[in-house]
Each structure stands twice: as C-alpha cells, then as structure tokens.
Amino acid sequence: MTRMRAAIVGTGDVARLHAEAIAARDDAEVALAVDLDADRAAAFAAKYGIPRSATSLPDGHLDVVHLCTPPAGHVAQAEDAFARGAHVVVEKPPALTLHDVDRMVAAGEAAGRHLAVVFQQRTGTATAHVKRLLDDGHLGRPLLARCDTFWFRDDTYFAAPWRGTWANEGGGTTLGHGIHQLDLLAHLLGEVDEVHGQAWRLARDIETEDVSTAVLRFQSGVVATAMTSAVSPRQVSSIRIDTELATIELEHLYGHGHANWRITPRPGADAPSSWAFPAAERPSGHDAYIDAVYPALAAGTALPDVASAPARSMEIVAALYASSERSAAVALREVRESGELRGPMSAQVRDERRS
Ligand SMILES: NC(=O)c1ccc[n+]([C@@H]2O[C@H](COP(=O)([O-])OP(=O)(O)OC[C@H]3O[C@@H](n4cnc5c(N)ncnc54)[C@H](O)[C@@H]3O)[C@@H](O)[C@H]2O)c1
C-alpha cells in the first residue's frame, strides 16, 4: 500500500493532535513539519518522528496539507496547497471571512481536491447515534435547544499576537470557541434561518468579544439560545435539545463519549431500547475526525458529513456579529448572499467592564 504523504503546517498547540492521529493510521505518514519558527518545527519533527522540517513548504509531492496555523493565513496556505495538488485539512475557523472560505472551496474544486475543515465535535459514536435518532424521527419533532460554551481564557491566552483582534482572529470567543458547540448543534438540527445576538466585553482587555448571547431560529422551527464565554471559571460545554418525546443533553468540555450524553423520556414514558447508545464507543476528537476523512481523501470520494458544510457554523457566527452591530435579528439568507456580510466580520461589542 502506498502511504499518503502529509505535511503539518504550523507546529503550535493544536498540531500535536494531527500528528498523533496520522501516526495511528497505516495508510499515511507525516513527511514534513513546517513552521515559521525553524526551531519549533525541528523540535516538533523530532518529537513525532517526522523525517523533515522546514519554514515553508518545499517543492515535492504531498497528498495532504494540514493547516494548523492562525486563521489569517489559512486562505493563502490552502490555495498554495491546492495548487500543489494536495488535499487540505484546515483547523477551525477555516478563514477570517466567509468570502475567503468561498475562495478556499473554489480553489479545492478547481484542483479536484478536498477541503476538510476540522470541527471534531461532530465526530464520535454518540453524536452519530443521536443524529440518527433525530433524523429518523425516533425522538419526535425537535422543539427547543440550548447551546452553551462556558470556557476560561485569561489575559495570557489573549496576549498571543493573533488573538483578540478582528483583523487577526476574525472574531472573539464566539468564532474561536463557541463555534464548536454551535457547529455541533447545527450538525444535529440542520440549517439556521435567523440569529438575534449580542457581543459583550465583560472582563478581558481585547478588541473582540469575551461573551456573546443569542437566540437562533432553525429552518425546522426549533428555537435555541446560545451563550459563549471566555470568562467562566467552571468550564463546561453543553447542549440541550427538547423534542416532543425526549430531552437530549450533552455536557463535556473539549471532547465527549457516551457518558457525556443523556436522553430522558417525557414524564410517564419509558425509553425504548432503540435510544440506548451502541455498545461500541468512540469518543469525539481529532483522531476520529481524521479517521473519518482520510479514507475519502485516499479514494477521492465525497467527504463524510463530519466534514460537510464547511461554512455553516461561520455563517451563524457572522449573523450573530451582524445582529449585534444592527441591534436586530439577521437572516442567514442575507449572510449567504450579501457581499458585505461575507467580508471582514465585526460587531458592536457592548463594553460592560468595570474597574
Ligand atoms: N479544533 C480545535 O479544537 C482547536 C484547538 C486549538 C486551536 N485550534 C485552531 O488551530 C489553529 C492554530 O491554533 P494554535 O492554538 O495551535 O495556535 P498556536 O499559536 O499555538 O500555533 C500556531 C503556529 O503556527 C505557526 N505559523 C504562523 N504562521 C505561519 C506560517 N505562515 N507558516 C508556517 N507556520 C506558521 C506559528 O509559528 C505557531 O507555531 C487556529 O485556527 C485555532 O483556532 C483548533
């Protein structure tokens, strides 16, 4: 079997999850580690047994380029990788603007290569089980939902040069953190029609928001609230979906297995056996994501649904920011169609800091 040759570009915090996931596969190897910081790239290569490191992509054949760089660089790096004939696996958020996501998708299509955006919360056997129950109508019609990301990121975290500004990060905690849970909610419940949201700055010395609040209306009629925070000492990520027949709850931090989920029947009813989680368990994570995506990259077949709709959760975030700017609800249709809303994101951030 010829092993796919991958490069990891950006060898900072998240890159190790990519290196470990590829190392666990028989059909692929990381052939190259790239970072602007030569010493960091070399140390990363040494740690993960990667034969070569560099400060930019050298000439030579690569099957997959993993972009683990700050989001401002993703569009140019993806276009470069596609021009070299490689598939691209890119960390969230895929870019700073929806226009740039369009460019990345177009470049992939023109090259006949895949663009896979990493939203690893969609993976794992629990999500697949709950999605199947919802899609097949076993839980009745979904009615309302709650989607919360309460994380804690201090000033040191935001001191990284690419964080906390519209120009370098494209958004605040909603785009950087809440997007995972929002993406999972939309993966389970489908397209969002409208967002009415507010961006808040409650504690951190940043230009973007450290908290956001929103009401989402889904095409299916589901109504949801979403709170995202970077200032919450007890950290938790959670989703609650109330359907006609059950309450689905997920409580975790960064990844989830079956024990993080609960499906409760309505009062007086028993849970049917079909609701039970399968015996075989795979937690969510980068490894599960790469295991789902790599066979499609190798075979040139369609990407699985854990990597579909690369712009969906970014559109929700863009609508939230536009809504905060306008103090009014914003339709996702407008975000999809408006050149203005596909451009640089910004929000009127309500500053409630007190000295
Ligand atoms: N999916 C997840 O759970 C998850 C978790 C953390 C971060 N992320 C995302 O991963 C990306 C990187 O985040 P991080 O926390 O690893 O950042 P980081 O700052 O720790 O690492 C980024 C690395 O990229 C390098 N770099 C910057 N520009 C480069 C370029 N042009 N060429 C080569 N190397 C370059 C930097 O030197 C640095 O080593 C971001 O988009 C972030 O949102 C995703």
Look at residue 254 and tell me if it is in a domain.
yes
Same domain assignment for residues 153 and 255: yes
Same domain assignment for residues 27 and 53: yes
- What's the gap in Å between 89 CA and the centre of ligand 1? 13
Average pLDDT over residues 104-131: 98
Look at residue 14 and tell me if it is in a domain.
yes
Q: In 3D, which of 29, 10, 31 has the Cα closest to residue 78?
A: 10
Residue located via tokens 């969230």: 92
- What's the gap in Å between 13 CA and the centre of ligand 1? 7
Q: Which domain holds residue 12?
A: 4-118
Would you say 305 and 288 are in contact if contact means Cβ atoms under 8 Å apart?
no
Residue located via tokens 């199947």: 132
The pLDDT tens digits of the residues spanning 286-316 come to 999 999 999 999 999 999 999 999 999 999 9
Q: In 3D, which of 134, 71, 78 has the Cα closest to residue 108?
A: 78
- What's the gap in Å between 71 CA and the centre of ligand 1? 7
Same domain assignment for residues 62 and 135: no
63 lines ligand 1 (CB under 6 A): no
> Rounded CA gap, 286 and 299, in Å?
20
14 lines ligand 1 (CB under 6 A): yes
Whether the predicted pLDDT of 1 surpasses 80: no
Same domain assignment for residues 85 and 183: no
Same domain assignment for residues 158 and 108: no
| Domain C-terminal end among 103, 118, 133 | 118
Q: What angle do CA 30, 26, 18 make, to 5 degrees?
A: 40
Number of Cα atoms under 13 Å in the Cβ half of residue 266? 7
Same domain assignment for residues 11 and 128: no
Q: Which CATH number do you get for residue 183?
A: 3.30.360.10
Average pLDDT over residues 201-224: 98
The pLDDT tens digits of the residues spanning 148-169 come to 999 999 999 999 989 999 999 9
Look at residue 301 and tell me if it is in a domain.
no
The percent of residues in the chain predicted with pLDDT above 90, rounded, is 99
| Domain C-terminal end among 76, 102, 118 | 118
- What's the gap in Å between 29 CA and the centre of ligand 1? 20
Atom number, ligand 1, closest to the C-alpha of residue 71: 41
Look at residue 257 and tell me if it is in a domain.
yes
Distances (CA, A) of 53 to 3, 37, 68, 290: 19, 10, 15, 22
Look at residue 52 and tell me if it is in a domain.
yes
Same domain assignment for residues 114 and 135: no
Look at residue 100 and tell me if it is in a domain.
yes
Same domain assignment for residues 87 and 156: no
335 lines ligand 1 (CB under 6 A): no
Would you say 82 and 107 are in contact if contact means Cβ atoms under 8 Å apart?
yes
Q: What is the pLDDT of residue 289?
A: 98
Look at residue 271 and tell me if it is in a domain.
no
The confidence band for 2, taking pLDDT boundaries of 50, 70 and 90, is confident
| Domain C-terminal end among 118, 145, 179 | 118
Select from 16, 34, 35, 177 the residue to mutate for testing ligand 1; criterion: most ligand atoms less than 8 Å from CB: 35
Q: What is the pLDDT of residue 355?
A: 78
Q: Which CATH number do you get for residue 58?
A: 3.40.50.720
The percent of residues in the chain predicted with pLDDT above 70, rounded, is 100
Look at residue 181 and tell me if it is in a domain.
yes
Same domain assignment for residues 261 and 146: yes
Whether the predicted pLDDT of 23 surpasses 90: yes
Q: What is the pLDDT of residue 277?
A: 98
73 lines ligand 1 (CB under 6 A): yes
Would you say 125 and 291 are in contact if contact means Cβ atoms under 8 Å apart?
no
Q: What is the pLDDT of residue 16?
A: 98
DSSP E strands: which ranges in 282-325? none
> Rounded CA gap, 126 and 257, in Å?
6
Which residue type is seen at 29?
A: E
12 lines ligand 1 (CB under 6 A): yes
Number of domains in the chain: 2
The pLDDT tens digits of the residues spanning 249-294 come to 999 999 999 999 999 999 999 999 999 999 999 999 999 999 999 9
Same domain assignment for residues 182 and 106: no
26 lines ligand 1 (CB under 6 A): no
Same domain assignment for residues 106 and 142: no
**Residue with CA closest to ligand 1 atom 36:** 10
> Rounded CA gap, 346 and 339, in Å?
14
Q: What is the pLDDT of residue 324?
A: 98
Would you say 78 and 71 are in contact if contact means Cβ atoms under 8 Å apart?
no
92 lines ligand 1 (CB under 6 A): yes
Same domain assignment for residues 105 and 19: yes
